[in-house]
Amino acid sequence: MNSARDPRIAIVGAGLGGLACARVLQRHGRSATVFEREASADARPQGGTLDLHADTGQTALRAAGLLDPFHALARPEGEEWRVLDFTDAALLAHQGPSAGGGRPEIDRGQLRELLLDSLTEGTVRWDRAVSRVTPLADGTCRLLFADGAAEDFDLVVGADGAWSRVRPALSHAAPRYTGVTFVETGFDHCDTRHPDLARLVGNGSMLAKGAGRSLVAQRNSNGHIRAYIALRTPQDWHMAAGIDLGDQRAVRAHLLRMFDDWDESLRYILRDSDSGFINRPLFVLPAPHTWQHVAGVTLLGDAAHLMPPVGLGANLAMLDGSDLAHALVTEPSIDDAVRAYESIMLPRSIEAATSSAQGLDHLVPAVTS
């Protein structure tokens, strides 16, 4: 990029997509500042395990120069998948790790730490929530922070996830409920404290599904199993059932009733989990989600293409970040770079959103009367 000075690039959000973008830029000698609303790197647990695909997440890590440290942390055996019959827990289908370890698993927290540690000190400004973005007439963009401060940049990258504050500068689209809610719970020291469940889950993931209800359990690092109780249900299911989500015993009892025709070894997930239940209604952006190019601002990851969580979102967010950074270091101007990036990211995300919607239908089958 030909510029008399280093362009001022702001990345809003220190998720996997924003961090991948910052890392690839820095690897090419460019600077960027990441503004993150959370107070610190460990302000909240980062969530479960992710399988990184060779053609997306791993491609981004290669561009970031982090593929080897990734492989040192990753769990290739975690690729294993089991599908069980919900009535008797019999094995219906089994897929072992692919030859060559195409999609190794890694805990999201480990991956985020790897990216954070790779950045120049001070790149991430913690506790800097962005409230709004205003494109300016000269092609630059103004960031307004929640504390009332404002700062102008040559490019603002919205990497701020599902409920992006940057997105309204480009599009009126808003996330809508998918009709599916994941209720998350977890098990610690599974091999010693929950050996039967550990055997059911194996080294990777286990799925059992019935009409409108599924159970997914995934082995994370350190003997932790994270489970999702997937429900095809109105978003206010707990209110309709008269349940206070803060009353964990009531949630547990209700879920056990919902799965009363399931095999007891699977109901164990509802009955004996160590952690409480976290309600996670799933939202998506309308697909296709596109926008007219606006100088000085773009989106990546969930901010651009929030889709059902069936294994693509984090991979695509990282690839977006890496592709955008690559365009910024190879194209002659910021505007050319953003146009080049959007011309590959938008069609790719439309395709992925369609396949993810089908994936969610497969994961949690509709109730047919």
Angle, CA of 283, 60 and 361, to the nearest 5°: 30
Among 314, 325, 334, 364, which residue interacts with ligand FAD (rule: CB under 6 A)? 314
Considering only 154, 160, 323, 342, the residue that binds ligand FAD (CB under 6 A) is: 160
Position 13 contacts ligand FAD (CB under 6 A): yes
Least gap, CB of 170 to ligand FAD (angstroms): 15
Q: What are phi and psi of 153, to 5 degrees?
A: -135, 155
Candidate segments 1-9, 13-21, 61-69, 243-251, binder of ligand FAD by CB under 6 A: 13-21
Position 32 contacts ligand FAD (CB under 6 A): no
Span of 89-97, 117-125, 133-141, 311-319 interacting with ligand FAD by CB under 6 A: 311-319
Residue window 46-85: x/- pattern of binding to ligand FAD, with contact defined by CB under 6 A: ----xx----------------------------------
Burial 240-258 (b: 16+ CB within 10 A, else e): eeebeeeeeebbbebbeeb
Which of 182, 173, 180, 361 lies closest to 285 in space, CA to CA? 173
Size of the site for ligand FAD (CB under 6 A): 31
Among 70, 81, 86, 182, binds ligand FAD (CB under 6 A): 182
Phi, psi values for residue 192, rounded to 5°: -100, -35
- The piece of 7-15, 195-203, 266-274, 350-358 that touches ligand FAD (CB under 6 A) is 7-15
313 lies in the site for ligand FAD, by CB under 6 A: yes
Measure CA of the first residue to CA of the last residue in the chain; give whole Å.
59
User: Please, are residues 140 and 154 in contact by the beta-carbon 8 Å criterion?
Assistant: yes
DSSP string across 198-233: HHHHTTSEEEEEETTEEEEEEE-STT-EEEEEEEE-
Taking CB under 6 A as the binding criterion, the range among 66-74, 186-194, 304-312, 350-358 that sits at the site for ligand FAD is: 304-312
184-211 in b/e burial notation, b at 16+ Cβ within 10 A? bbbbeebeeebeebbebbbbbbbbbbbe
- Does 323 bind ligand FAD (CB under 6 A)? Our answer is no
Q: Which is nearer to ligand FAD, 167 or 238 (CB)?
A: 167
- Residue pair 176/228 in contact (Cβ under 8 Å)? The answer is no
How many Å apart are CA 104 and CA 52, to the nearest integer? 6
CB of 40 to ligand FAD, least distance (A): 11
Closest CB 317 distance from ligand FAD, rounded Å? 4
Residues 6 or more apart whose CB falls under 8 angstroms from that of 181 comprise: 230, 231, 233, 235, 237, 279, 280, 281, 282
135 forms beta bridges with: 141
Question: Which range in 6-14, 24-32, 233-241, 360-368 contacts ligand FAD by CB under 6 A?
Answer: 6-14
Catalog residues that contact ligand FAD under the rule CB under 6 A: 12-18, 35-38, 50-51, 129-130, 159-161, 165, 182, 280, 301-303, 309, 311-315, 317
